[in-house]
Chains A and B, each alone.
Chain A
């Protein structure tokens, strides 16, 4: 366990040693932003819309007291989306998509000797392949998180107003009621941390793959599982620190 953690730390250190030129990283960074960010847009929008809608419906169903005003429904939708669902829930989804993609890509490169080909050329394969992925995850995850928070609130609005749970005016009043601006920063910080965790853990798993196609499948699954556990632990620690 400690040995593996030590190896993981050495792997992280390797990302920042013997770096290539900025031009090389920039091109790869843009490619990775496309893969991690743009390619994940659709799934993030669909998931965020429906969790916003379901949250609205569930809160309404469970708020049975007549003394609680209706606008509280959208108030809770807003806080749930911003504080938890747009970061943690969406990042768990992204761990499955992006994490498995990173692990299987690097795992395949390892077993087909593409990583060795880079090392033989005198290129730091870890830095060249992984650092742009980590930076792209660090940048794109907060973007996706902010977007999902917005789409989730819109999802709640559409579900609430279309089914008569809440009027549009009440919904808008609710999401503006007792608003704390710092709550907008929390999902950005959390998703940036989760992005780094997912990218580094998945890359580490993929980079040290040994064996064949079967092992690539296994490391891909392990990468997602470990990333999810790391997200949940980090989520608790960040909740303690930020609230």
Chain B
């Protein structure tokens, strides 16, 4: 379980996050949604300690993260898997080497064990045949899947996905969402997904937190989001043309 308490962050006097708190539970896909520029990615970076918040705490299974020593933070970091917006694959390495990288750097497993684990992860994301290809030779959706394979290769307790559907066609988006959902349920990970994609919200949103101008102003699930009376959330949800028509 991940708990965030009173996270605030300003850049050049402009408040990007304002006293955001919340809980992300084990085995659940939690979504942080909101329009562009509402601080979703900054919140994720604060949770990962890539950006230091001005105030607030982040607790991983009760362990305070941000104000601990470097070594203690590294211990927690090694329990995390992160899928970045663009995949963040290392350009100079093949798909196989990218997925193997965390094993090389952070474990003392034998080469055979590492190879088995990488092959398993690539198979899990449906890319067992793409191991020898370079990141520049694969599509955006495949990059995301390689990113997921790399994120899960160390069996993380916490999985973070930053805009996993950005730049993808609807069908590939659905596949990526399903994959994240399956992995969360299969491994019982605490999964945090940053998105503004309403398809993801409705299909995998077990717990949804809505950010508006840096504040968390609503929390619920994929069913209650359609019945909300909150004006800001209503505008965000029904900005989707199909949903607007569905509501009539």
Q: A114 to B82: give the CA distance in the assembly, Å.
A: 11
Q: Say yes or no: is B122 at the interface (Cβ < 8 Å to chain A).
A: no
- CB-nearest residue of chain A relative to B78? A122
Contact yes or no, A20 B84, CB < 8 A = no
How far, in Å, is A130 (CB) from chain B's closest CB? Answer: 15
A122 touching B84 in the complex, CB below 8 Å, given contacts A114-B90, A116-B50: no
Find A113's partner among B70, B80, B86, B105 (CB 8 Å cutoff): B86
Find B84's partner among A24, A108, A117 (CB 8 Å cutoff): A117
Q: Say yes or no: is A18 at the interface (Cβ < 8 Å to chain B).
A: yes
How far, in Å, is A202 (CB) from chain B's closest CB? Answer: 18
How far, in Å, is A101 (CB) from chain B's closest CB? Answer: 13
How far, in Å, is B244 (CB) from chain A's closest CB? Answer: 33
Contact yes or no, A121 B105, CB < 8 A = yes
User: Which of chain B's residues 70-116 have a Cβ closer than 8 Å to chain A?
Assistant: 70, 73-75, 77-78, 80, 82, 84-86, 88-91, 102, 104-106
User: Which of chain A's residues 104-159 have a Cβ closer than 8 Å to chain B?
Assistant: 108-109, 112-114, 116-117, 119-123
Q: A108 to B78: give the CA distance in the assembly, Å.
A: 25
A9-28 interface code vs B (CB 8 A; 1 in, 0 out)? 00000000010100010000
How many interface residues does A have (CB within 8 Å)?
15
Q: Which of A24, A108, A113, A123 has the most CB of B within 10 A?
A: A113
Find A123's partner among B48, B86, B105 (CB 8 Å cutoff): B105
Contact yes or no, A121 B70, CB < 8 A = no
A120 touching B105 in the complex, CB below 8 Å, given contacts A113-B85, A113-B88, A114-B88: no
A117 touching B70 in the complex, CB below 8 Å, given contacts A24-B105, A112-B88, A123-B105: no
How far, in Å, is A207 (CB) from chain B's closest CB? Answer: 14
How far, in Å, is A159 (CB) from chain B's closest CB? Answer: 41
User: What A residues does B80 contact at CB under 8 A?
Assistant: 120
User: Which of chain B's residues 34-79 have a Cβ closer than 8 Å to chain A?
Assistant: 48, 50, 70, 73-75, 77-78
Q: A122 to B82: give the CA distance in the assembly, Å.
A: 12
User: What A residues does B89 contact at CB under 8 A?
Assistant: 114
Contact yes or no, A120 B106, CB < 8 A = no
Q: A114 to B77: give the CA distance in the assembly, Å.
A: 16
Contact yes or no, A122 B88, CB < 8 A = no
How far, in Å, is B208 (CB) from chain A's closest CB? Answer: 24
User: What B residues does A121 contact at CB under 8 A?
Assistant: 77-78, 102, 105-106
A122 touching B74 in the complex, CB below 8 Å, given contacts A116-B88, A117-B82: yes
- CB-nearest residue of chain A relative to B48? A120
Contact yes or no, B82 A120, CB < 8 A = yes
User: What A residues does B50 contact at CB under 8 A?
Assistant: 116, 119-120
How far, in Å, is A210 (CB) from chain B's closest CB? Answer: 12
- CB-nearest residue of chain B relative to A117? B88
Contact yes or no, B77 A120, CB < 8 A = yes
- CB-nearest residue of chain B relative to A116? B50
How far, in Å, is A66 (CB) from chain B's closest CB? Answer: 60
How far, in Å, is A156 (CB) from chain B's closest CB? Answer: 40
User: What A residues does B106 contact at CB under 8 A?
Assistant: 121-122
User: What A residues does B77 contact at CB under 8 A?
Assistant: 120-122
Q: A127 to B229: give the CA distance in the assembly, Å.
A: 51
Q: A93 to B238: give the CA distance in the assembly, Å.
A: 58
- CB-nearest residue of chain B relative to A121? B102
- CB-nearest residue of chain A relative to B102? A121
Q: A114 to B102: give the CA distance in the assembly, Å.
A: 13
Q: Could you write out 13 A-B pairs with CB less than 8 Å apart?
A: A108-B91, A109-B90, A112-B88, A112-B91, A116-B50, A117-B88, A120-B50, A120-B80, A120-B82, A121-B78, A121-B102, A122-B106, A123-B105
A114-B89, A120-B82, A122-B74 known; 7 new pairs, CB 8 Å cut-off, are A108-B91, A112-B86, A113-B88, A120-B80, A122-B75, A122-B106, A123-B105
Binding site for A on B (CB under 8 A): 48, 50, 70, 73-75, 77-78, 80, 82, 84-86, 88-91, 102, 104-106
